Chains A and B, each alone.
Chain A
């Protein structure tokens, strides 16, 4: 019951946070932070398993019955990849709580309740191995997220929240269809009705069926990632969401899409994935370029960063469908590094907005003169997102490009021009915000809480950049299971 308890800690924490509001306005945030810290504890079992050098695929694997009528179970399990993403979720959740510390004053109890419940949902998504359970959690994490944007967002929040929910729900319904079809096809062949990932993994579909079933999953995941024709919800949701929610959205929620591709689409439908790979690579290339170009055109700092997220997620898709080990490693690294760097940038914009009540690039400028600390960390994260060697993002993008050059050189060349565009928009952020003439009054610089938060993220990024091997090793076991791909070239 390790993973169940991990999720329960967050769920109960949410309820406690809500209830604690009646004692004090400040109590909920302490409860939220505390429950996120406590939630790390159950994970030490996974590390014990790792230390013992077990070679089994799943570090923790728990099954209990749920709906016997359809043979649906509470099947939670984690391997290295899930472990990494869960750790990312918990740490970025903590960052989100810290960045909401002063910003959220309205109905704090309900805010932290929703925050913790959506994080619980995300963690559930990262460890659910029953497809039905996965789907349920996939949808469940949306509802609190929707409320967070709809209640605590900025001026146009209702439109943004609605768009976010409807886009992801549309993808979700397609995925539900695919899940049902997959389970029934398996039943037809084997006579056993099951939604269990490990059982379904054994199943060989005929190519046409596989293609259609795969598309349902694929579309759901690339809506979440998001990839270009379906990216529309992200800039709105990001711009309107309060800082903490932007942090969660960028750091964690988008990663569920990438995780879905790696965990479900590629292993369950290897041949179908291979067959659509060229088109997907094209889509990924377009996303990288489109996101970068759109980012440069934005005036709203948050919207700009949202578009850079789209561009970076294009790299994840590129890595997933290049079908080489390096590219997959790169995709995982990109999810982690982008999780941290995008979270940091959103927290930074939040800090600016908290001080000046604006995030319009035309109104900002010259912040270095009045806010040296904020500007310095800002510059650091901007450079990280541009892909400076020595930081996590560089390792990720390098691995992806090296890996995919082997199989799809043309798309890789197109995508790598995205790196140049990344430099363009990153420097534009730095130039328009931190340098130039000062247009605003002075304000209080980063306080200790904010410095702690920014520094910890900076350290994470440097760690990932200088010594990425442990992370890659952790994820490697998952990637080795893949039945497809050009493993050594």
Chain B
């Protein structure tokens, strides 16, 4: 009796410990709400948000590798810990960047931070979910917080359009997923991702495999549709460019990074726990999706003149690349029998992608703040605005070049290491066709990244006449620090990737 009680207490204790970052973030959101109810002060709210995130980050970092908790709803293993830390880190960086933009708005500002924190918590829940109920709760918390964030600037028709688009499409995607979950429950009688595998028709000793059951296959496809929408993978990618273009920059950054990364973690979990590598139909569907995402994403990005649309399309391609790592999860490969190469590849690439994209958005925010101050009505994100950036703001241009080289996967950047991981794991799984698609789309991708770098390197002798004066406004010190940090991460890990590689290897 006594032993049982202490066991339960220990369990509860441990749960409290692993949930601590969530609790911190949720409390921060509550405190924000309370303080705002009494007195609105944008600066305080902003600082509080960042502090809360920082605290959560420190706690989360300390937990990496240390904790191993699992119950029916949630799982906290190495992957969760690592990814949670990464998500909080990205949120933290973004939260530091929001202030100047929000400050220029006339609308109430403080609510944005609350939504921001809630979206982060949602992403963390999704990331740790071990059960379709917790997954769905987290997902809705994430998407529903994002909807008002997308449409936050309500006088901007583009933002409203984007908000409605996101609301409707995300609801449709959720509906697809719910239906899929319901069917899965109907067949297996459980919502726990882990237990599903033990039930027929998934269990390995089942007489009829999944593919022979048409309704069950339909459920899987619907689930994949939902996930593909959230990740903006190829057939469900159409919303992402409009959304990134229309929504405010911090929201766009959140959409492009956190919301996608969290869902991808679930996809990894589904793939490994569900032993999808045995289901040839799922592999086929995902392979087609991956190839299409890589090719379509990069080819659509080729001729974009708007940086945000370009980033949106390139993010489609990047998630196509990461799918490669997922697809190469096969326990009987030469390397993965001993280790977990494909897993590491996916996580390394996610890390590389998130850091790089956050950096890119940080630079875009600098540029857009300047545009706001100069009251230019033209879209601040046309590529030609970057013309001659090298000679006006060498440091910013250098960082942006680094980030684009990283996205293009050129060595000595973190993006290359990610690509190397993916190539190695794909070669390991002998997916030659997809590797071909990877090469073709990488080369196409190189073209548009180089196009931007070229634009920045252009000799801009008649600069003053043609383009708005970017050079006159200096980014704040905080902005500069963040850019420096991101550049250091991209370059530092690109040159010495060993540390991070061993951290990821031991955590998983």
Q: Do A and B come from one complex?
A: yes
Closest Cβ of chain A to B394, distance in Å, is: 8
Question: Contact: A187 with B335, CB < 8 Å?
Answer: yes
Closest Cβ of chain B to A186, distance in Å, is: 10
Q: Which of A158, A162, A181 contacts B427 (CB 8 A)?
A: A181
A127-148 residues with Cβ-Cβ distance < 8 A to B are 132, 135-137, 139-140, 142-143, 146-147
Binds A, one of B82-90, B244-252, B443-451: B443-451
C-alpha gap A170/B454 in the complex (Å): 19
A188 at the B interface (CB under 8 A): yes
Question: Contact: B335 with A68, CB < 8 Å?
Answer: no
Binary contact track B494-508/A, C-beta < 8 Å → 1, others 0: 001110011001000
Question: Contact: B498 with A68, CB < 8 Å?
Answer: yes
Question: Contact: A161 with B454, CB < 8 Å?
Answer: yes
Binary contact track A163-180/B, C-beta < 8 Å → 1, others 0: 001100110011011001
A151 at the B interface (CB under 8 A): yes
B164 at the A interface (CB under 8 A): no
Q: Which of B410, B412, B423, B450 contacts A177 (CB 8 A)?
A: B423
Binary contact track B440-482/A, C-beta < 8 Å → 1, others 0: 0011001100110110010100000000000000000000000
B381 at the A interface (CB under 8 A): no
Question: Contact: B457 with A150, CB < 8 Å?
Answer: yes
C-alpha gap A298/B360 in the complex (Å): 44
Question: Contact: A106 with B435, CB < 8 Å?
Answer: no
Question: Contact: B454 with A139, CB < 8 Å?
Answer: no
Question: Contact: A135 with B439, CB < 8 Å?
Answer: no
Q: Which residues of B contact A183 (CB under 8 A)?
A: 424
Question: Contact: A147 with B457, CB < 8 Å?
Answer: yes
Question: Contact: A162 with B439, CB < 8 Å?
Answer: no
Closest Cβ of chain A to B400, distance in Å, is: 14
Closest Cβ of chain A to B321, distance in Å, is: 13
Question: Contact: B439 with A188, CB < 8 Å?
Answer: no
Q: Which of A70, A107, A139, A187 contacts B410 (CB 8 A)?
A: A139
A69 at the B interface (CB under 8 A): yes
C-alpha gap A177/B411 in the complex (Å): 15
B211 at the A interface (CB under 8 A): no
Q: Which residues of A contact B276 (CB under 8 A)?
A: none
Question: Contact: B423 with A180, CB < 8 Å?
Answer: yes
The count of residues in chain B whose C-beta lies closer than 8 Å to any C-beta of chain A is 33
Question: Contact: A150 with B428, CB < 8 Å?
Answer: no
Question: Contact: A173 with B411, CB < 8 Å?
Answer: no
C-alpha gap A240/B377 in the complex (Å): 38
B420 at the A interface (CB under 8 A): yes
A193 at the B interface (CB under 8 A): yes
Binary contact track B411-438/A, C-beta < 8 Å → 1, others 0: 1100010001001100110000001001
Q: Which residues of A contact B101 (CB under 8 A)?
A: none
Q: Which residues of B contact A150 (CB under 8 A)?
A: 453-454, 457
Question: Contact: B410 with A143, CB < 8 Å?
Answer: yes
A184 at the B interface (CB under 8 A): yes
Given contacts A140-B411, A184-B427, contact A166 B447 (CB under 8 A): yes
Question: Contact: B447 with A162, CB < 8 Å?
Answer: yes
B405 at the A interface (CB under 8 A): yes
Question: Contact: A158 with B443, CB < 8 Å?
Answer: no
Question: Contact: B424 with A184, CB < 8 Å?
Answer: yes
Q: Which residues of B contact A132 (CB under 8 A)?
A: 420
Q: How many A-B residue pairs have CB under 8 A?
A: 85
Given contacts A176-B420, A184-B428, contact A170 B335 (CB under 8 A): no
Question: Contact: A166 with B446, CB < 8 Å?
Answer: yes
Closest Cβ of chain A to B318, distance in Å, is: 16
C-alpha gap A150/B446 in the complex (Å): 15
B136 at the A interface (CB under 8 A): no
Question: Contact: A69 with B501, CB < 8 Å?
Answer: yes
Question: Contact: A180 with B427, CB < 8 Å?
Answer: yes
Q: Which residues of A contact B427 (CB under 8 A)?
A: 177, 180-181, 184
Q: Which residues of A contact B411 (CB under 8 A)?
A: 135-137, 139-140
Given contacts A174-B439, A180-B427, A184-B334, contact A136 B498 (CB under 8 A): no
C-alpha gap A463/B432 in the complex (Å): 50
B99 at the A interface (CB under 8 A): no
Q: Which residues of B contact A169 (CB under 8 A)?
A: 442-443, 446
Closest Cβ of chain B to A12, distance in Å, is: 15
C-alpha gap A181/B430 in the complex (Å): 9
The count of residues in chain A whose C-beta lies closer than 8 Å to any C-beta of chain B is 38
Q: Which residues of B contact A162 (CB under 8 A)?
A: 447, 450-451, 454
Question: Contact: A173 with B405, CB < 8 Å?
Answer: no
B391 at the A interface (CB under 8 A): yes
Binary contact track B344-358/A, C-beta < 8 Å → 1, others 0: 100000000000000
Question: Contact: B335 with A146, CB < 8 Å?
Answer: no
C-alpha gap A183/B334 in the complex (Å): 11
Q: Which residues of B contact A68 (CB under 8 A)?
A: 498, 501-502
Q: Which residues of A contact B423 (CB under 8 A)?
A: 176-177, 180
Closest Cβ of chain A to B398, distance in Å, is: 10
Question: Contact: B450 with A146, CB < 8 Å?
Answer: yes
A279 at the B interface (CB under 8 A): no
B424, B459, B496: residue with the most chain A Cβ atoms closer than 10 Å:
B424
Question: Contact: B457 with A177, CB < 8 Å?
Answer: no
A444 at the B interface (CB under 8 A): no
C-alpha gap A162/B302 in the complex (Å): 13
A187-203 residues with Cβ-Cβ distance < 8 A to B are 187-188, 193
A51 at the B interface (CB under 8 A): no
C-alpha gap A173/B451 in the complex (Å): 20
C-alpha gap A142/B446 in the complex (Å): 13
Which residue of A has the minimal Cβ distance to B436? A177
Question: Contact: A177 with B439, CB < 8 Å?
Answer: yes
Q: Which residues of A contact B497 (CB under 8 A)?
A: 67
Q: Which of B391, B405, B435, B498 contacts A107 (CB 8 A)?
A: B391
Which residue of B has the minimal Cβ distance to A161? B454
A66 at the B interface (CB under 8 A): yes
Question: Contact: B439 with A67, CB < 8 Å?
Answer: no
Binary contact track B303-344/A, C-beta < 8 Å → 1, others 0: 000000000000000000000000000000011000000001
Q: Which of B391, B446, B505 contacts A69 (CB 8 A)?
A: B505
Question: Contact: A158 with B501, CB < 8 Å?
Answer: no
Q: Which residues of B contact A135 (CB under 8 A)?
A: 411
Q: Which residues of A contact B439 (CB under 8 A)?
A: 170, 173-174, 177
Question: Contact: A180 with B424, CB < 8 Å?
Answer: yes
Which residue of B has the minimal Cβ distance to A138? B411
Q: Which residues of A contact B457 (CB under 8 A)?
A: 147, 150-151
Q: Which residues of A contact B502 (CB under 8 A)?
A: 68-69
Closest Cβ of chain B to A205, distance in Å, is: 14
Q: Which residues of B contact A187 (CB under 8 A)?
A: 334-335
C-alpha gap A68/B443 in the complex (Å): 29
Q: Which residues of A contact B443 (CB under 8 A)?
A: 166, 169-170, 173
Closest Cβ of chain A to B177, distance in Å, is: 35
Q: Which of B335, B391, B459 contacts A184 (CB 8 A)?
A: B335
Q: Which of A66, A136, A143 contacts B405 (CB 8 A)?
A: A143
C-alpha gap A107/B461 in the complex (Å): 13
Which residue of B has the minimal Cβ distance to A158? B454
Q: Which residues of A contact B344 (CB under 8 A)?
A: 69
Q: Which residues of B contact A106 (CB under 8 A)?
A: 459
C-alpha gap A68/B498 in the complex (Å): 6
Q: Which of B391, B450, B453, B498 contacts A67 (CB 8 A)?
A: B498
Which residue of B has the minimal Cβ distance to A193? B335
C-alpha gap A161/B438 in the complex (Å): 23
Q: Which residues of A contact B447 (CB under 8 A)?
A: 162, 166
Q: Which residues of B contact A193 (CB under 8 A)?
A: 335
A44-101 residues with Cβ-Cβ distance < 8 A to B are 65-70
C-alpha gap A135/B453 in the complex (Å): 22
C-alpha gap A158/B456 in the complex (Å): 12
6 more A-B residue pairs beyond the given contacts A69-B502, A70-B424, A162-B454, with a C-beta to C-beta distance below 8 A = A66-B498, A69-B498, A169-B446, A173-B439, A173-B442, A187-B334
Q: List 23 A-B contacts (CB under 8 A).
A: A65-B498, A67-B497, A67-B501, A68-B498, A68-B502, A70-B424, A106-B459, A140-B412, A147-B457, A150-B454, A151-B459, A162-B451, A166-B450, A173-B438, A173-B443, A174-B439, A177-B427, A177-B435, A177-B439, A180-B428, A184-B427, A184-B428, A188-B334
